[in-house]
């Protein structure tokens, strides 16, 4: 026991020093607080004052000091043994099937159906403190964004990247989403769970009702209005235009509430149209199951140190009862009050350094986050966002993964080291040949590097032409025009000094170059640098590219199997 004895929160032991000092100072003040000795004769003072006041106050001071010391020790968390702690979680499984058909671009509810759907799914994730949640995105085909997991924060981060324009197959096939949902239930060995369709319409009732099962009720959250709205084509760079039928009529996407309500009822679920509060969520998520939700013991067990600090409360109870009369209990409460919040050590008491760094990133202070992160990759990402590209390159250089090489290439490109950045992108493409961002950045840097080398070569040739003598030819040299000939002859005037300073040589080189061509090269280089800047600003932790490639790969696999042949004549919205 003595060997294993330690404190879970040892910093609280520092409270022993100020607690004892405060108690002694208070007792000394109470003992010497009477100044009647200087004004009243000792014979009379012995009659007026109690003689045992000083000894009693000293005893009281030691009692208070003992109580404060016990409080500090109890708060420090003394422990000497471990106890096994099983991990249990509520066995509540929910799969959210999000409709990403083109009709979700409609703006009959502000700002659009898609934005409101994302917000509502985010609200659902934040309400689920227990259980497992999965997310499925579907249009003409369905894809699992996240399997059943208790990490709702990861699903929330992936949710922001979902959009109808990233779906490989256009259309609206809720049946494919339900197939994926039941497969996720089977993979997780879940015997019952809820399915929530977040959609603005279902074309065929049988697409949903054929999956009806009381163990897996299907509820529907409707998006849109009955009057409907056009489907804008802004996502294909056609602002102001809307989706039209083959006859040229504008398509109106309307919400059929009665139809969706009947489908949910037939599928043992519930229906509710989107609202501004959480009443719609609580209604659809309360669909009954055949059996009540039970707690599930997770395959994890921790041996935790048993905090025995609560025994201090048993010792302090008699002292607290005595202290109520003279107000000592109030003094104890004041003594253990925490100091006012300040930066540094005080923040470390409540949050880990990585948590502080995460909040700094959210608040737009990546420079401060870079100082707080302990993980080298997170620190490198913070340095990249703060503009410390040398530090970011150094941090990413130790990561030999696909993302590490890609981020290293971005950092080197920001530093202007194009050749080394290209090598980093090549390493990325070796590991992942389908990495679109790395391929685009590599081609762009190669083009910029070629233009840079070509510009340097042209400048060198022009400088050599300016230094050479034009006496054996009266015709303009290649790359120059007729108006440049007098300048070249003037540059070889024998009366001019042979050794010119650097400023004259630069002026001569500028005169020999074509200003129009040079301006065009500068503008083209600026445009490509701007394009590169936009691509490099893409956050490394953006999951959009990864999800897009995942969806495309899954759709290509299904297309090879011929799964899309029966959908050729169906509508795309």
DSSP annotation string for 467-534: HS--TT--SPPTT--GGGHHHHHHHT-TTS-SS--HHHHHHHHHHHS-HHHHHHHHHHHHHHHHHHHH
The answer to whether residue 501 scores a pLDDT higher than 50 is: no
Neighbours of 378 (CB within 10 A): 19
User: What are 291-334's pLDDT values in tens digits?
Assistant: 875 555 544 445 567 778 778 877 777 776 665 555 555 555 55
Bridge-partner residues for 142, per DSSP? 138
DSSP 225: -
Strands (E), 163-258: 194-199, 218-222, 229-230, 252-253
The C-alpha atoms of residue 98 and residue 338 are separated, in whole angstroms, by 47
Residue 220: per-residue pLDDT: 96
| Closest to 70 (Cα-Cα) out of 1, 9, 8, 20 | 20
Residue 476: per-residue pLDDT: 36
Query: Once rounded to an integer, what is the mean pLDDT over residues 133-160?
Result: 92
Q: What is the pTM of this model?
A: 0.48
Query: Once rounded to an integer, what is the mean pLDDT over residues 41-49?
Result: 67
User: What are 472-495's pLDDT values in tens digits?
Assistant: 333 333 433 333 333 333 333 433
Could you give the C-alpha distances from 130 to 88, 125, 253, 290, 292, in angstroms and in order?
Answer: 10, 10, 36, 19, 15
Query: Once rounded to an integer, what is the mean pLDDT over residues 420-431?
Result: 88
Which secondary-structure segment (H or E) carries 464?
Answer: helix 436-467
The C-alpha atoms of residue 183 and residue 180 are separated, in whole angstroms, by 5
| Closest to 27 (Cα-Cα) out of 69, 56, 66, 68 | 56
Please state, rounded to an integer, the average pLDDT across all residues of the chain. Answer: 76
The answer to whether residue 92 scores a pLDDT higher than 80 is: yes
In the chain, which residues fall in CATH 3.40.50.410? 89-296
Is the peptide bond between 231 and the residue preceding it cis, with omega within 30 degrees of 0? no
Asked if 102 and 243 count as a contact pair (C-beta separation under 8 A), the reply is yes
**pLDDT above 70 coverage of the chain, percent:** 68
- For the domain with range 89-296, which CATH number is right: 3.40.710.10, 3.30.70.20, 3.40.50.410, 3.40.50.300? 3.40.50.410
């Amino acid at each position: 026991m003595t060997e294993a004895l330690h404190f879970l929160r040892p910093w609280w032991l520092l409270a022993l020093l100020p607690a004892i000092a405060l108690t002694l100072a208070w007792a000394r003040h109470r003992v010497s607080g009477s100044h009647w000795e200087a004004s009243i004769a000792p014979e009379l003072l012995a009659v007026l004052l109690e003689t045992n006041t000083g000894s009693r106050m000293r005893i009281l001071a030691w009692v208070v000091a003992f109580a404060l010391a016990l409080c500090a020790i109890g708060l420090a968390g003394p422990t000497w043994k471990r106890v096994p702690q099983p991990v249990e979680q509520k066995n509540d499984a929910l799969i959210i099937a999000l409709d990403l058909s083109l009709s979700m671009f409609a703006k009959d509810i502000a700002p659009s159906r898609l934005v409101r759907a994302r917000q509502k799914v985010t609200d659902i994730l934040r309400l689920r403190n227990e259980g497992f949640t999965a997310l499925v995105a579907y249009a003409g085909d369905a894809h699992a964004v996240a399997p059943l997991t208790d990490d709702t924060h990861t699903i929330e981060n992936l949710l922001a990247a979902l959009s109808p324009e990233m779906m490989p197959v256009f259309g609206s096939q809720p049946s494919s989403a339900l197939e994926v949902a039941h497969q996720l239930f089977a993979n997780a060995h879940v015997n019952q769970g809820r399915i929530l369709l977040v959609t603005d319409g279902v074309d065929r009732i049988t697409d949903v009702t054929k999956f009806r099962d009381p163990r897996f009720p299907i509820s529907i959250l409707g998006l849109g209005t009955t009057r409907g709205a056009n489907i804008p084509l802004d996502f294909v760079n056609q602002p102001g235009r809307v989706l039209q039928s083959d006859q040229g009529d504008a398509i109106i996407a309307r919400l059929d509430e009665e139809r969706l309500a009947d489908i949910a009822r037939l599928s043992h679920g519930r229906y509710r149209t989107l609202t501004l509060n959480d009443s719609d969520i609580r209604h659809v998520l309360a669909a009954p199951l055949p059996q009540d939700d039970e707690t599930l013991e997770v395959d994890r067990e921790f041996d935790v140190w048993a905090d025995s600090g609560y025994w201090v409360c048993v010792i302090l109870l008699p002292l607290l009862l005595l202290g109520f009369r003279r107000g000592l209990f109030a003094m104890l409460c004041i003594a253990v009050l925490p100091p006012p919040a300040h930066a540094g050590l005080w923040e470390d008491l409540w949050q880990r350094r990585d948590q502080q760094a995460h909040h700094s990133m959210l608040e737009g202070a990546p420079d401060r986050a870079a100082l707080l992160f302990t993980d080298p990759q997170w620190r490198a990402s913070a340095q990249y966002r703060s503009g410390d590209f040398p530090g970011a390159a150094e941090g990413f250089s130790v990561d030999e993964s696909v993302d590490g090489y890609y981020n290293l290439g971005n950092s080197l490109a920001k530093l202007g080291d194009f050749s080394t950045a290209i090598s980093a992108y090549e390493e990325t493409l070796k590991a992942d040949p389908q990495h679109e961002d790395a391929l685009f950045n590599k081609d762009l840097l190669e083009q910029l590097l070629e233009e840079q080398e070509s510009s340097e070569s042209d400048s060198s040739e022009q400088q050599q032409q300016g230094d050479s003598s034009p006496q054996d030819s009266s015709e303009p040299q290649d790359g120059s025009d007729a108006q440049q000939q007098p300048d070249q002859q003037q540059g070889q005037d024998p009366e001019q000094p042979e050794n010119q300073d650097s400023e004259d040589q630069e002026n001569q080189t500028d005169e020999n170059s074509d200003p129009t061509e040079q301006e065009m090269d500068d503008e083209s280089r600026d445009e490509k640098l701007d394009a590169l800047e936009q691509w490099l600003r893409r956050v490394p932790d953006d999951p959009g590219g990864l999800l897009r490639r995942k969806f495309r790969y899954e759709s290509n696999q299904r297309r090879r199997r011929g799964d899309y042949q029966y959908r050729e004549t169906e509508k795309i919205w």
